Amino acid sequence: MDLGIRGKRAIVCAGSKGLGRGCAEALAEAGVDLILNARSADVLDAAAQEIAKTYGVSVTPVAADITTEEGRAKVMAAAGEGIDILVNNAGGPPPGLWSDWNRDDFIKALDANMLAPIAMMQAVLPAMMERGWGRVVNITSQSVRAPIAQLGLSNAARSGLTGFVAGTSRQVAGSGVTINNMLPGIHATDRAVSLDSNVVKAEGISMEEAKARRAKTIPAGRYGTTTEFGAMCAFLCSQHAGFIVGQNIMLDGGAANISV
């Protein structure tokens, strides 16, 4: 399928690896030029060079912490005007118990997983609306619809972002701009390694056993891949997705047993 977005320009946050990298590659394959952001300059530069070489698109790496005001300003300065697509992404806060966290922990989670993506949307939406076309995809978590007890910080911050998107997406849709959220379950990324490592440490089992145990809780019987995640992101950013507005799309292999 021709996604109809060749020549568009996209900002992809936290795009040097994991789910962000999957989205960046899928957009690049569709012919989209990228402003690729991540914190680690060496990993980012390597990813940018590889994507540009593989797909023949322009990739501008911007090493910055997107969760900070300074980092966002650096990304926007490098991007300039004419951004058509924004993929918001940032690492999730650490797991724990409700009694483990203090106010500073919650503020940090809100800054990274709610306020940073909102600030990025506020930066790009006016110009998108003026041009009459734009796509925003926020990478959040399955915990928005099916809260995970150990991920209380993520549950709280990402749910706040979901509420903001629910209202904002309906205010900008008439200008040809769509905003949607992708809610990943377990995918084969560093995040999964981190979660499985916690199980290994807590229960004294091997990494292989921890992964196999978690995979058994997923009806698909496996972890998701960054490639299939990226494909969904690219479709939501395509010309064909203009009637998809304010949706929370689960990509969890059926792990959350919910019907709506």
Q: What pLDDT, on a 0 to 100 scale, did the predictor assign at position 153? A: 95
Q: How far is CA 195 from CA 232, 239, 256, in A?
A: 24, 36, 17
Helix, strand and coil content of the chain, in percent to the nearest 5, comes to 55, 15, 30
- Decide which of 195 and 84 is more confident: 84
Q: What pLDDT, on a 0 to 100 scale, did the predictor assign at position 260? A: 77
The token duo for 62 is 């911007």
Contact (Cβ atoms closer than 8 angstroms) between residue 252 and residue 140:
no
In the predicted model, what is the mean pLDDT of residues 162-189?
97
Instruction: Please tell me the distance from the alpha carbon of residue 256 to that of residue 147, in angstroms, as a whole number.
Output: 9
Percent of the chain with pLDDT over 90: 91
Residue 211: which pLDDT band, with cuts at 50, 70 and 90?
very high
Q: What pLDDT, on a 0 to 100 scale, did the predictor assign at position 181? A: 98
The torsion of the CA quartet 193, 198, 203, 204, rounded to 10 degrees, works out to 60
Instruction: Please tell me the distance from the alpha carbon of residue 50 to that of residue 59, in angstroms, as a whole number.
Output: 9
Q: What pLDDT, on a 0 to 100 scale, did the predictor assign at position 259? A: 82
In the predicted model, what is the mean pLDDT of residues 174-193?
94
DSSP bridge pairs for 88:
138
Instruction: Please tell me the distance from the alpha carbon of residue 165 to that of residue 190, in angstroms, as a whole number.
Output: 27
Q: What pLDDT, on a 0 to 100 scale, did the predictor assign at position 41? A: 97
- The dihedrals phi and psi of 110, each to the nearest 5 degrees, come to -65, -40
Other residues' Cβ atoms within 10 Å of the Cβ of residue 251: 18
Q: Which residue has the tokens 């390597």?
A: 46
Residue 228: which pLDDT band, with cuts at 50, 70 and 90?
very high
Q: How far is CA 149 from CA 41, 103, 167, 234, 256, in A?
A: 34, 18, 27, 31, 13
In whole numbers, what is the pLDDT of the chain averaged over residues? 96
Q: Residues with Cβ < 8 Å from 6, sequence gap 6 or more?
A: 30, 31, 32
- The dihedrals phi and psi of 22, each to the nearest 5 degrees, come to -60, -40
Instruction: Please tell me the distance from the alpha carbon of residue 251 to that of residue 218, in angstroms, as a whole number.
Output: 11
* pLDDT tens digits along 154-163: 999 999 999 9
* pLDDT tens digits along 1-54: 999 999 999 999 999 999 999 999 999 999 999 999 999 999 999 999 999 999
* pLDDT tens digits along 69-93: 999 999 999 999 999 999 999 988 8
